[in-house]
Amino acid sequence: MENILSDIRQALIDSADDKTKATSQNYFREEIKFYGVRVPQVNKISKEVFAVIKTGSKKDIFTLCTTLWKSGYLEESFIACNLSYYINKLYEPADFKIFDDWVNHYVSNWASCDTLCNHTVGTFIEMYPDYIPELKRWALSENRWVKRSAAVTLIIPARKGMFLSDIFDIADTLLTDKDDLVQKGYGWMLKAASERYRDEVFEYVMSKKSMMSRTSLRYAIEKMPPDMRSKAMAKP
């Protein structure tokens, strides 16, 4: 895998462009390490790499992903997310320990958080819902990215109508969090749930609006009809 790692990094260096280098930092408050490669090109590199390594063991692929995470580079984290998702049919319960390690030790911005959790971790949770209590544990973390991960992992399952009571449990835990990126994360989760359970989410929002941040509230009701949005946003 050492040669693959070198090839990945050379491909990223070769694919960097001046415009992306000049603007990438604009999307983040924290300082980001990046090559300056557009996301579609990162995804293309990911597919090319996977074509070479797909016959390797899951353990070796996860080890490569961990090495990419450790670099701290945004684009390398995206490739790690893609590679770990491409082998989702091989997921086993024990793999959660790896994902938990990535979330707790290497996720350091919203883009890496959402890319990993929407796909890799979200798919794992659909396959092994007995691990939802681990997401509820994440929601209690002091780490903003771990807390956001608890919510955004359930975005795609929520759109499928899954785990509504657990979604409300996680929203309850994060309800009064002061971090706007956590607020946006659980608001997004509620918005996704509203695609299948509009009335239930509306009822939840109305019962919690006095405690919920306006940021979370706006996210949660974004896809609701105008009359519902107006009622939810109305101040007491």
Q: What is the reported pTM?
A: 0.95
Question: Would you call 119 helix, strand, or coil by DSSP?
Answer: helix
Phi, psi of 30 (to 5 degrees): -80, 155
Q: Which residue among 57, 90, 123 closes a domain?
A: 90
Range of the domain at 163: 110-236
Same domain, 83 and 146: no
Q: How many domains does the chain have?
A: 2
Q: Give the E-state strand segments of the chain in sequence order.
A: none
As a whole number of angstroms, the distance between CA 153 and CA 120 comes to 9
Same domain, 71 and 172: no
Same domain, 82 and 121: no
Same domain, 115 and 220: yes
Say what angle helices 180-194 and 198-208 make with each other, to 10 degrees. Answer: 140
Q: Residue 105: inside a domain, yes or no?
A: no
Place of tokens 């835990």: 173
- List the chain pLDDT tens, one digit each, 236 residues: 668 999 999 999 999 999 999 999 999 999 999 999 999 999 999 999 999 999 999 999 999 999 999 999 999 999 999 999 999 999 999 999 999 999 999 999 999 999 999 999 999 999 999 999 999 999 999 999 999 999 999 999 999 999 999 999 999 999 999 999 999 999 999 999 999 999 999 999 999 999 999 999 999 999 999 999 999 999 86
Q: Which residue among 28, 55, 90 closes a domain?
A: 90
